[in-house]
Amino acid sequence: MEPVQPTVSIVGAGPAGFALAADLQSSGKNVLVYSHPTHLRHAKSVLGNGGRLQVTGAINGFATLRITCNIEEAITFSKVMILTVPSTGQETVLQELKRFDLRRHTIIAVPGNLFSLIAGMDVGCILETNLSPYSCRMDDGDLIVLGKKSRILIAPLRRDLSPAIYNAVRNIFPVELRWCSSVIEVCLSNVNGVFHPLMMLMNAGRIENTAGDFLLYRDGLTNSVANAMLAVDRVRIRIGNSFGLHLESAVGISNECYGQGFANLVDLAQNSPPHNKLKAPGDLENRNISEDVPDLLVCWYSLAVKLGIDASPIQAVIILVEMATGVSYLESGRNLRKLNLEGISRSELVERFRRKRRVSNERKALTIVSRL
Ligand SMILES: NC(=O)c1ccc[n+]([C@@H]2O[C@H](COP(=O)([O-])OP(=O)(O)OC[C@H]3O[C@@H](n4cnc5c(N)ncnc54)[C@H](OP(=O)(O)O)[C@@H]3O)[C@@H](O)[C@H]2O)c1
């Protein structure tokens, strides 16, 4: 009998979703990509080519992708759905998903940015990762994969993840997974919140003057920018400490995910191939601000306030971004109200997400396999 091909629905038809789809297909998975019907910016050209997509860089070749704009088709296609929309698009997707019974589905948000706390629906299992496995861009309808991470961080919302789901998720992802103690640890490990907003803010004049005609990391992450990032990073690590976590520095997490060994932020900016060729965006209306400020910095800041941690470096970044853009991110972003954490006390918050000693899912799964 032919082995059954695992199926995966990918919700989000941008470079990150396409890279994952192409990579999964090349390893024998059966993939369907869903694009929201009003968000066809990238899907349009691929659909126009009959689903054919040229991929260059860290992944190479042609992929023929199956794409749908019908969410019901994506739900029926697979019990495993990977969300690759930016976190700013998760609410829109949730409105679509909420019309269906997903109690037997597993949803993995890549990246999550605490998607599981805003989901507000009964799903079999929700997991989230800290980053996308790929650094990638669309260029004239082609996909360029600048880098593929060797590892990303992941956690389920509920700690009682069954070994069957654990194994299914581990077998689907084309990169190594480090299982974290909670979705809070995963969110604190999305180091884009440390890198992106400050690089944008501290280079705002240059971005607007040149319409982004410079290399964001290589030219824009200098010593003083790195110093400001380190101040934000220290707050992030202190928030982690309150939950019993010993988080790596931002450069440490980036090193872990890309399998690199850079000594510091400037070293990474100068020498990391997936970073040092990235052009700056043409203006400040970019997800380096519009995603990472409301869905990471506001979230970290709100947690810090609840925990009684001085988060003035993060607050300073948010306020400056609000002054520069006129957008009230503290109000619209993932504050405690949006995360459904407003009513709980500091100790309840810590208890809910604290690192606990437990038998790891990996050990549980291995025990079960060895008993078979
Ligand atoms: N690409 C990378 O190198 C990279 C690296 C690290 C992390 N990530 C993260 O991975 C995620 C996806 O990245 P990406 O580059 O693929 O993003 P993207 O192209 O900006 O968006 C992915 C898809 O989501 C759609 N979308 C955007 N807003 C939406 C909304 N409100 N409702 C429904 N659909 C919406 C986009 O459609 P439209 O464009 O038509 O709106 C696109 O089809 C982001 O969170 C990003 O920060 C990406």
Atom of ligand 1 nearest to the CA of 86: 45
369 C-alpha to ligand 1 centroid (Å): 37
127 C-alpha to ligand 1 centroid (Å): 18
Atom of ligand 1 nearest to the CA of 35: 43
Mutate to test the pocket of ligand 1, among 9, 85, 87 (most ligand atoms within 8 A of CB): 85
What is the secondary structure of 104-165 as a DSSP string?
Answer: EEEEEESS-TTHHHH--S-EEEEEEESS-SEEEEEETTEEEEEEE-SEEEEEESSS---HHH
Percentage of residues of the chain with pLDDT beyond 90: 93
Residue 358 pLDDT exceeds 50? yes
Closest by CA position to 155, among listed 121, 120, 190: 190
Residue 78 CB burial class (10 angstroms; 0-12, 13-18, ≥19) = buried
- Beta strand 61-64 with 52-57 is antiparallel
Alpha helices for the chain (secondary structure H): 15-26, 43-48, 71-77, 90-97, 115-118, 163-172, 183-188, 192-202, 204-210, 216-220, 223-242, 250-258, 265-271, 287-290, 292, 298-307, 312-325, 329-332, 346-353, 361-371
Helix (H, G, I), strand (E, B) or coil at 54: strand
For residue 80, what pLDDT is reported?
97
Residue 284 pLDDT exceeds 80? yes
Residue type, 17: G
Average pLDDT over the chain reads: 94
Euclidean distance between CA atoms 9 and 67, whole angstroms: 10
Closest by CA position to 318, among listed 287, 289, 288, 282: 289
pLDDT classification of 365: cutoffs 50, 70, 90: low
Q: Whose CA is nearest to atom 9 of ligand 1?
A: 132
Query: Which residues have any ligand 1 atom within 6 Å of their CB?
Result: 12-17, 35-36, 39-42, 84-89, 92-93, 111, 131-132, 134-136, 287, 291
Closest by CA position to 113, among listed 84, 134, 87: 87
299 C-alpha to ligand 1 centroid (Å): 19
Mean pLDDT of 32-56: 96
201-243 per-position pLDDT tens digit: 999 999 999 999 999 999 999 999 999 999 999 999 999 999 9
For residue 1, what pLDDT is reported?
57
Query: What are the chain's domains?
Result: 7-187 (3.40.50.720), 191-341 (1.10.1040.10)
More confident residue, 357 or 249: 249
- Per the listing, tokens 């079999």 go with 124
Q: What is the DSSP letter of 171?
A: H
Mean pLDDT of 167-187: 96
For residue 177, what pLDDT is reported?
98
Q: Whose CA is nearest to atom 44 of ligand 1?
A: 86
Percentage of residues of the chain with pLDDT beyond 70: 95
Closest by CA position to 26, among listed 59, 68, 53, 54: 59
Euclidean distance between CA atoms 306 and 345, whole angstroms: 8
Q: Is the dihedral of CA 137, 142, 146, 149 positive or negative?
A: positive
Atom of ligand 1 nearest to the CA of 85: 24
